[in-house]
Structure 1
Amino acid sequence: MSVAPPGREESDDYAISAEFYDVLQAERDGARVHRLYGDAVGRARLGVLDVGAGTGRVTLMSLLESRVPVHAVEPTRSMRSPLMTRLASLPADLRRRVTVHPHRLDEAELHGVADVAVCHNTIACLHPASRRALWPAVAGALVPGGVLLVQLPPARLPRRETTHDLPTQRIGQHEYGGRMVASADANRIRTRFHYWVRGEGGVLREHHETFWMWPTTRGEVIGELAECGFAPLSGRTDPAVLAVRLVRR
């Protein structure tokens, strides 16, 4: 499970986590997005839509696995900055196929631009009202018959506080690490991230950020998507990802 904060609610969110996300989780998350979405993206014939692109793991994979235009939607400036830096380092032929939209999807005015859409690490931190408002915008951006792949939120509140240590990484003389602590808070999940940087003399810096997640069952997400014209697809092997097809407007 990726533990990167997935929400995309405010333009100044993730100012702290954006520095550490690629350092601590890039390799593992890159392998995961390829496994979860690579086959579907490789079959795209019109375009790929990356909803909540973050620092660009799905976007980059989509450019490499497909030959179609890629639309990366990322309203958060702190996450979009490393995304743009990553894209700037690509060969010109790849850069020509990707467009970064610095808005929420419902503000990006994308209509019928893709036949594959991916919401990876995106909807868990959306308030239920914001999550439900996302689906019509996704339906509008897809053509009929288009496929949407959604990484599902946690289905329920945690029964007790849990801690997940992030893999430690070394860059030069400094060691980077962190942990995530998840706990129930009323009807939400509180996720607290603690990051640190160590040198030879000990801890040089420590940072903290807190995010909120709303548990949602697979059935609830299917019901919300059905109201926007989506029907479930069978054959997915990872229960954390829901695959649906746009069958009607």
Structure 2
Amino acid sequence: MSNLPYYDDTGLSAAFYDVVSSAYPFRGDIDFYADLVGPAGSSVLELGCGTGRIVIALAERGYGVFGVDLAPAMIQRAAMKCERLPPEVGSRIALMQGDMTRIVLDRQFDGAIIPFYGYAHLGTPTARADALAVVARHLKPGGKAAIHLPAHAMLRQPLGDEELSGPYNAAGDSVRIRVVARTFAEDTGRFRQVMEYTLIDPAGTITRQSREELVYHAVDRTEIVRNAERCGLSLAGVLGDFDGSDTGREAIYVFVRRETAHTSVESYGVPD
């Protein structure tokens, strides 16, 4: 069985993304982002919004949220979830399929976030610099941005017995999700993880299966801070978890948009 790219339209990772993300031990991320942006009624740009977990949670608290994701399968699922919301909540949400390194909107926001390792999907220094320029372009002066990355120690964790399983519909069909391979290349900072998704009917017969490859890239602190400064974002702090601790399995960078900023999305980062 060949590996599909993660979030591929023909795979299963988008359909069961919420199952996998719920298994991660994030606590307090919604509170953190709400506090970062400001009072209810403020506007938020979320780059890499996935299936809309954070978009919806912030909209339910009264924030206006614009969510962007590169994967059509993910943004489609976010849209389906938003359609089921009460009108007063759904009206606060806008969604767009797009590239976080290239989008140009005709507005600025009170805050911007790139949650749940979305920035780590970007595979070159140039792409990461361009994404920071997009953040700066769309932040109001004084607005704050948060970029959630995995700490390098987390990327180095060896493969263990990692499996999720359970029913997923009223008919009694079940899904089994396993991590079947994991590598981290110290020289390139490339993290690769292969997830196997298996659908099983009530009789125990496998009805569908896919293996999908998730890739992250370790981001050097010097690189992200340097490129942020170049486009008008000043570092306010780096946290190890959403509870405010300095150390942990996460690396949450918080930036503030200066009064003047270089907001061109043309590449100006270090060479690839």
Measure, in 1, the Cα distance between the counterparts of 2:232 and 2:10. Answer: 32
Q: Pick from 19, 33, 38 the counterpart of residue 37 of structure 1.
A: 33
Q: Pick from 189, 192, 202 the counterpart of residue 190 of structure 1.
A: 192
What is residue 104 of structure 2 aligned with on the other side? 109
Matched AA of 2:204? G
Where does structure 2 lack aligned partners over 5 or more consecutive residues? 1-5, 262-272
What is residue 226 of structure 2 aligned with on the other side? 223
Evaluate the alpha carbon distance shift between residue 103 and residue 22 of structure 1 in structure 2; reply closer, same or farther with a 3 A threshold.
same
What is residue 268 of structure 2 aligned with on the other side? none
Shift of 1:61: 1.5
* Higher mean C-alpha displacement, 104-113 vs 172-181: 104-113
Aligned partner of residue 73 in structure 2, secondary structure: helix
Select the structure that is richer in helix. 1
Q: Deviations over 1:107-143 (max 9, x none)?
A: 4322442111110121111112211211111100110
Matched AA of 1:177? R
Where does structure 1 lack aligned partners over 5 or more consecutive residues? 1-6
- Counterparts in 2 of 1:151-166, with a 5 A limit? 151-155=148-152, 161-163=158-160, 165-166=162-163
Contact 2:49 2:67 in 1 (8 A): yes
Evaluate the alpha carbon distance shift between residue 163 and residue 203 of structure 1 in structure 2; reply closer, same or farther with a 3 A threshold.
farther
Evaluate the alpha carbon distance shift between residue 87 and residue 29 of structure 1 in structure 2; reply closer, same or farther with a 3 A threshold.
farther
Evaluate the alpha carbon distance shift between residue 15 and residue 144 of structure 1 in structure 2; reply closer, same or farther with a 3 A threshold.
farther
Q: Percent identity?
A: 22
What is residue 214 of structure 2 aligned with on the other side? 211
Give the TM-score, by structure 1 length. Answer: 0.82
Measure, in 1, the Cα distance between the counterparts of 2:37 and 2:163. Answer: 28
Q: What is the count of residue pairs matched by the alignment?
A: 240
Measure, in 2, the Cα distance between the counterparts of 1:218 and 1:117. Answer: 19
What is residue 145 of structure 1 aligned with on the other side? 142
Measure, in 1, the Cα distance between the counterparts of 2:43 and 2:235. Answer: 21
Contact 1:194 1:207 in 2 (8 A): yes
Measure, in 2, the Cα distance between the counterparts of 1:53 and 1:234. Answer: 23
Measure, in 2, the Cα distance between the counterparts of 1:153 and 1:235. Answer: 12
Shift of 1:203: 4.8
Shift of 1:156: 6.5
Measure, in 1, the Cα distance between the counterparts of 2:107 and 2:26. Answer: 27
Contact 1:153 1:217 in 2 (8 A): no
Measure, in 2, the Cα distance between the counterparts of 1:193 and 1:113. Answer: 37
Measure, in 2, the Cα distance between the counterparts of 1:32 and 1:165. Answer: 24
Evaluate the alpha carbon distance shift between residue 88 and residue 109 of structure 1 in structure 2; reply closer, same or farther with a 3 A threshold.
same
What is residue 174 of structure 1 aligned with on the other side? 173
